[in-house]
Amino acid sequence: MSTTSRRLTRTPATSGALTFALGLAAVGLIAPAPSAQATAAPSRTTTAAPSHVTAAAPARTTAPAATCRVSWGSLPKAVGLSNTAAVTPVAQLRTGHHTCYDRVVIELKGRPGKVAAAYGGSTAAGWALAVVSTTQVVPRGVPVGAYSPTGLPTVRGLVNAGSVKTTGGTGSVNALGALTRARLPFRVFLLAGPGGNSRIVVDVAHRW
């Protein structure tokens, strides 16, 4: 499956987009804050061509429901192992549209620490899905709150929430937010490579 790559742009944040602290609190990394539809082709039996169209139409309509069923859920998730490195620089950010989900890939120059993802609440721009790590997941030089639309149907944009203090103020985590059109099922996992790099992958399903 092909992936459409996009670099993160540095444009002003949309109003109310940075509610990712709620997502960070949900995974226990900071203290919580106070309060085109398919139409059936007519059936014809006189020629071979209409028969082909009629047979193909149900396959296009029913196949996604059968193949896109996921069991990921929308509750907070965490992956990864402890990493003593203070910084794992971001090499690249990419997004892509797949048949059943939209994907966000954060490529790091090295190994990430513990990675967590959780929904933090809804905003005017969509639902805020925070992706946090004990190592850097936000590109250097990108202002806190920089927002970039992705043009994907489910993941509508990316927000760099920047460095956030952990519970107790003993350290900080770096948060990258994904704005989604609804609170949809998602998964997060790690991949090795290319080379000595590693990737944090977040998939958000198009539907329940």
pTM: 0.69
Q: Is 169 left (phi over 0), alpha (psi -120 to 50) or beta?
A: left
Averaged pLDDT score across all residues of the chain: 72
| Residue 66 predicted with pLDDT over 60 | no
| Every domain of the chain and the residues it spans | 41-70, 72-205
Rounded CA separation 173/151 (Å): 27
> Among 195, 18, 200, which Cα is nearest to 104's?
200
Once rounded to an integer, what is the mean pLDDT over residues 135-150? 84
* The predicted structure's pLDDT at residue 86: 62
Higher pLDDT, 16 or 19: 19
Identify the CATH assignment for 72-205 out of 3.30.70.100, 1.10.3720.10, 2.60.40.3500, 3.30.420.40: 2.60.40.3500
Q: Write out pLDDT tens, residues 71-88.
A: 999 999 999 766 656 678
Rounded CA separation 70/109 (Å): 31
* The predicted structure's pLDDT at residue 18: 42
